[in-house]
Structure 1
Amino acid sequence: MSLPGRRPSFLLELDLDVPLVDPPPQAPLAKALGRGQPALRTVLADLHRAAKDPRVAGLIVRTGGTSHPLAHAQELRDALTEFGASGRPTVAWAETFGEFGRGTSGYLIATGCSEIWLQPTGEVGVTGMAAEALFLRELFDRLGLRAEVGARREYKNAPNLVTERGYTEPHREAMTRLVTSSLGTVLEELAERRGLDADDLRTLVDRAPIAAEDALAAGLVDHLGYRDEAYAALTARLPGAQLRFLHRLTETPAARLRTATARDRRHVAVVDVVGTIRSGRSGRNLFGAAAGADTVNAALRAAARDEHVGAVVLRVDSPGGSYIASDAIWRTSQGLRAAGKPLVVSMGAVAASGGYYVAIGADRILAQPTTVTGSIGVFGGKLVVGDVLTRHGIDHDAVAVGARARMSSPRVGFDADQLAALEAWLDRVYADFKAKVAAARGLSAEEIEVAARGRVWTGADARERGLVDAFGGLPEAVAQARALAGLSPDAPARPLPVPSPLNRFARPRSSEDPRAAAALGPVSFATSVAAAGWGSWAELATALGLPAAGPLTLDVGALRG
């Protein structure tokens, strides 16, 4: 109970033991199905706002039970560190950091707080990292399916799903470096934040999961206690503070007034490239979110024309997809910069292959040290199903005019001429991809070839090779965009397209109408999955073989930690 005449103080609660979405769903149906599921960027924004709110006395965070992408965990950790920089107490409490393993991301988040509490029966499951992949070659051989695929170059591993029975040497090399770099980065950060010796911490990882008593003795946690004990200890230090969820903290009247009077001020527009990249409009498909080039490009064109938009942040969290769609987004990003609008890319958990392609047109590229990025390469081909059809009594025949009329048919294999055409296409796409990266990043042909070859990197390794400019999450990208555009440090960041029901269902007057970026029409399943990613080769993708998202797609398997 606050005293009369005094502003009430709040002890904020943040529950990160639930999966986070990014970006926040805008469609009414998606919001309803999400049932209020928290969004990563909303949590980041709420923490930033709470850090400036004088009514906030402290923060307690529940974490440890849900595995988050490492790059997202680093963003959350950094936001908690920023909040705690004011000197207000921040406490992380966990029932357990993973139950018999897989607690790395939850523990990484917890290190952003000034204290870590662990339930006495819990454990610290920082057990290292592993990449796992499935291989279907043996199954396909038994079924009579045959994959005819080409790739540029040897590290482009997505086709291995259907062409191999296990890791190739280049595939194993790339995955080994990926997990080694990711774990090394995480251990360095944990050692620094907990004041531990890096070698001692690595020894603990090999012994993990670490029981609560041992974790306390090793300095991994500060206190052992159940929820009621952790809460009681913190509330005793903040007498009179009211418990409130972070997302229920309303703005102060002064902040509301600033927001209301700042509507016409210049701001940073945030445009999303989240999910597989395809032609057409953004939406969802069998694989989750899909970033449509039409939607992204309409938003970038609208930002270029809007005098109130000072700069743009392109938030990329994508494994890639369609080469044509990726190139269309790259081209539009160049038009944005030609209009004098700075463009900063914020990479999320993954920005690889086509996801990296769309990023290279930016003034600056930011990633987290564990962001999966790079994969500068391409693959293409088809899954031949003719034998399995015949084996099951399904005859097939065709009438074709033109030497390459059946080139994309999954019922017959490539002949020598068609295979040469595929190889020429792979060379052309690979050369174009490399040339654009080299020009954008100021790298020589030799340097880009070493960094390319279809190889995936962590953000830390990508930065060393000139593919990324700096480390940082979405808030840092927005801050850099403000600086490049000469905006005030408190200039707002607003999503584009504007998430309003009117924009979503209004009919745009033309493709230049800003509402074209928000309007979502019906998209068929075939279009939403393979047709947009593979174009005329869509049939082969839906036939069950290659990643249906398209030829510029990353497939690293399951990276576990």
Structure 2
Amino acid sequence: MSKRARHVVLELDLAGGVAFAPPANPLEAWRLRLAPSVRAVREGLRRAAGDDAVRGLVVHLGTCPLTLAQADEVAGLVADFTEHKPSIAWTATFGELTSGLAGYRAALGAGEVWLQPSGALGVAGVHLGITLLRGGLEKLGLDPQFGQRHEYKSAADQLGATEVSDANREMVQRLADSILDDTVARTAARRSLDPAPVREAVAQAPLSAARALEAGLVDRLGYRDEVYARLREQWGDGSGADGGDGGVDLRYLQRYHSDGGRRETLARLTRHHQPAVAVVDVTGPIVLGPARPGQAGDDVTARLREVGRDDDVSAVVLRVDSPGGSYVASDAMRREVVRLREAGTPVVATMGTAAASGGYFVAMAADEVVAQPTTLTGSIGVLAGKIVVGRLLERAGIVHEPVDAGPRASLMAATVPFDDEAWRVLDAWLDEVYADFTTKAAADRGLDLAVLEPLARGRVWTGADAAERGLVDHLGGSALALDRACALAGVERDRVRLATPSPLAFLKQLRPPESSEAAAAGARAAGFASVAAPVGPEALLRRLAEAVGVHLPHGVLSMPSGFEALLRPSGA
């Protein structure tokens, strides 16, 4: 065997997830140490497609702890590879009386799908929920007072409503229907089936492995050893019939990419001023000032300014995965995107699991916007208010007497309810922010305001529905965004350098920046701001809510709640 040429089969193990953004802290870096980055998947498969030594790809799905949009991103990259070389996706089960939708959507990119004989296919549809907290808050002595623009901005409903509104119910139902419709269409197309039997199979799910095979939703039933015996037989040199390895060398995709990356780095040293595409991440809730781990703040605007000063940067890919947050911070980020475009640097935004409200505000100014069909986006609206704690303090026997200097000093004080004048001020501000949001969105998207405004009103859309309405330009993932950025910049995709954030970017927090222009300036306090926990009644409420799985708004441009099943990885 030593004189024979060895064949390489790449392994992509999704059981531990995929890193879609640099880790925010050492703990997350340790947790993701074995997970491939989305760049390693994308660039590794791109190179492997033209590498004669690579014979195929095997994808282990496991519990697939990815969101639907992340699963679609991986599926698209695997499908691109499968156009050139064979691939197999396998798992023990697509859910065990739980949803296996993300794993199955990821598997659809492969040429063959294998399922363990004792497994199941849990694609029983999409389950979302609407949670209203006001009744429980009032029993605690907390009185929510919120305003919203407009009827679909149901993040305010979560805290301030006692009944589910027709608009809220309509929006959430359409989100679920859109994802199911896309799943049926995508399955039918990839599996060469008619949509009707696929929809019927969904109605009967979870399906046994045998039933899934009969319905044509998987190709083969087998255990792991049978999967690997099959690939050695098909992709090896024929020497595996006696139980040998078939002349096959298995390699994790991220290791393959890493080895190739070192060679590319050495090659780049011999080339000067190679054009670059810079990747800028907007990940997590958008906040004012320095961001804590898992948030986007001053670090994003600093990074955008940094790439704008780099003469080698020909284009920018803006990766947005955020439910929104602060209006002012979102507008500051959008401004930096506009400045890049005005300077002649094309910007393409690619949306992840969510790019809604403030997340959409940041992305909409890009030259082009790319989203996955299951991305949660839009939510062009605004909410604001407070939770009044006066009754809670009274029940607890705590005396609090407000002392103000100025007629509006207690406008947002948690101990003072809104009076008529305060509501007038709040409503005027909500109208002002909504008008600014919709006017800028219409201009950025090249739509008349009369066309854009009915699509706004705080409504969340899936990427598929948003594309039909002109809120995004393309359906796809980071590979498509990179292709479009290169095309707009007039550079060859195979000849550009990707300037992506380092996996150790969080270490910049330990080094004082030279000035406010340094990329590290935006993260100057992030690592230490999280040491002292936020205090106050609303901070306490947020911690209690998150402990039971309820996510409260992070700012006035926050996406409505109720979509935790789509925002959190399926295995979480």
TM-score using structure 1 length = 0.92
2:367 to 363, 367, 386: 363
Distance in 2, Cα, partners of 1:299 & 1:9: 42
2:175 to 164, 173, 178: 178
Matched, 1:308 2:317: no
Matched, 1:456 2:460: yes
Distance in 2, Cα, partners of 1:496 & 1:337: 21
C-alpha change, 1:93 and 1:262, in structure 2 (3 Å) is farther
Distance in 2, Cα, partners of 1:398 & 1:502: 43
Q: How does 1:85-484 map to 2 (within 5 A)?
A: 85-86=83-84, 88-239=85-236, 240-249=247-256, 250-251=259-260, 255=264, 257-262=266-271, 264-284=273-293, 289-292=294-297, 294-484=298-488
Q: Deviations over 1:486-542 (max 9, x none)?
A: 112211222157956885543322212344356555443499979xxxxxxx87465
Tell me the SS of whatever aligns to 1:268.
Answer: strand
C-alpha change, 1:383 and 1:186, in structure 2 (3 Å) is same
Deviation (angstroms), 1:111: 1.3
| Residue number in structure 2 paired with 1:60 | 58
Distance in 2, Cα, partners of 1:420 & 1:147: 17
C-alpha change, 1:400 and 1:514, in structure 2 (3 Å) is closer
Deviation (angstroms), 1:53: 2.5
Distance in 1, Cα, partners of 2:522 & 2:501: 8
| Residue number in structure 1 paired with 2:241 | none
Deviation (angstroms), 1:108: 1.1
* Matching residue's letter, 1:556: S
Conserved 8 A contact 2:346-2:485: yes
Distance in 2, Cα, partners of 1:488 & 1:52: 17
Distance in 1, Cα, partners of 2:343 & 2:522: 19
Q: Deviations over 1:45-78 (max 9, x none)?
A: 3322322332211111111523421111111111
| Residue number in structure 2 paired with 1:533 | none
* Matching residue's letter, 1:510: S
Deviation (angstroms), 1:325: 0.2
* Matching residue's letter, 1:553: S
Distance in 2, Cα, partners of 1:254 & 1:497: 18
Distance in 2, Cα, partners of 1:199 & 1:52: 37
1:36 to 30, 34, 37: 34
C-alpha change, 1:527 and 1:50, in structure 2 (3 Å) is farther
C-alpha change, 1:306 and 1:156, in structure 2 (3 Å) is same
| Residue number in structure 2 paired with 1:47 | 45
Deviation (angstroms), 1:9: 2.1
| Residue number in structure 1 paired with 2:82 | 84
Deviates more, 1:38-47 or 1:363-372: 38-47
Q: Deviations over 1:206-241 (max 9, x none)?
A: 000110111111111111111101110111112212
Deviation (angstroms), 1:32: 2.8
TM-score using structure 2 length = 0.90
* Matching residue's letter, 1:549: H
Deviates more, 1:91-100 or 1:21-30: 21-30
Distance in 1, Cα, partners of 2:502 & 2:10: 31
Q: Structure 1 unaligned runs (5+)?
A: 531-537
Distance in 2, Cα, partners of 1:14 & 1:497: 22
* Matching residue's letter, 2:391: D
Tell me the SS of whatever aligns to 2:11.
Answer: strand
1:15 to 13, 22, 45: 13
Deviation (angstroms), 1:16: 1.1
Q: Deviations over 1:278-325 (max 9, x none)?
A: 1123332xxxx1011x21111111111110111111100000000010
Distance in 2, Cα, partners of 1:139 & 1:185: 36
Distance in 1, Cα, partners of 2:399 & 2:534: 27
* Matching residue's letter, 2:466: A
Q: State the identity %.
A: 44
C-alpha change, 1:513 and 1:524, in structure 2 (3 Å) is closer
Conserved 8 A contact 1:64-1:98: no
Deviation (angstroms), 1:277: 0.3
Conserved 8 A contact 1:498-1:518: no
Tell me the SS of whatever aligns to 1:345.
Answer: strand
| Residue number in structure 2 paired with 1:535 | none
Conserved 8 A contact 1:179-1:559: no
Tell me the SS of whatever aligns to 1:387.
Answer: helix
Distance in 1, Cα, partners of 2:421 & 2:534: 29
* Matching residue's letter, 1:246: L
Aligned length, in residue pairs: 546
C-alpha change, 1:323 and 1:254, in structure 2 (3 Å) is closer
| Residue number in structure 2 paired with 1:70 | 68
Conserved 8 A contact 2:299-2:520: no
Distance in 2, Cα, partners of 1:172 & 1:529: 33
1:553 to 529, 543, 558: 558
C-alpha change, 1:377 and 1:528, in structure 2 (3 Å) is farther
Deviation (angstroms), 1:147: 0.6
Q: Deviations over 1:183-225 (max 9, x none)?
A: 1011101100001110111010000011011111111111111
Distance in 1, Cα, partners of 2:498 & 2:437: 31
Tell me the SS of whatever aligns to 2:118.
Answer: coil
Deviation (angstroms), 1:26: 6.3
* Matching residue's letter, 2:78: L
Distance in 1, Cα, partners of 2:527 & 2:508: 16
* Matching residue's letter, 1:277: I
Distance in 2, Cα, partners of 1:364 & 1:477: 8
Q: Structure 2 unaligned runs (5+)?
A: 237-246, 546-550
Conserved 8 A contact 1:541-1:548: no
Tell me the SS of whatever aligns to 1:180.
Answer: helix
Q: CA RMSD in A?
A: 2.3
Conserved 8 A contact 1:371-1:459: yes
Distance in 2, Cα, partners of 1:497 & 1:91: 31
Conserved 8 A contact 2:22-2:503: no
Distance in 2, Cα, partners of 1:510 & 1:493: 25
Conserved 8 A contact 2:509-2:526: no
Conserved 8 A contact 1:383-1:543: no
Q: Deviations over 1:51-106 (max 9, x none)?
A: 233221111111152342111111111100111111x2201111011111311111
Distance in 1, Cα, partners of 2:417 & 2:523: 41
Deviation (angstroms), 1:245: 1.5
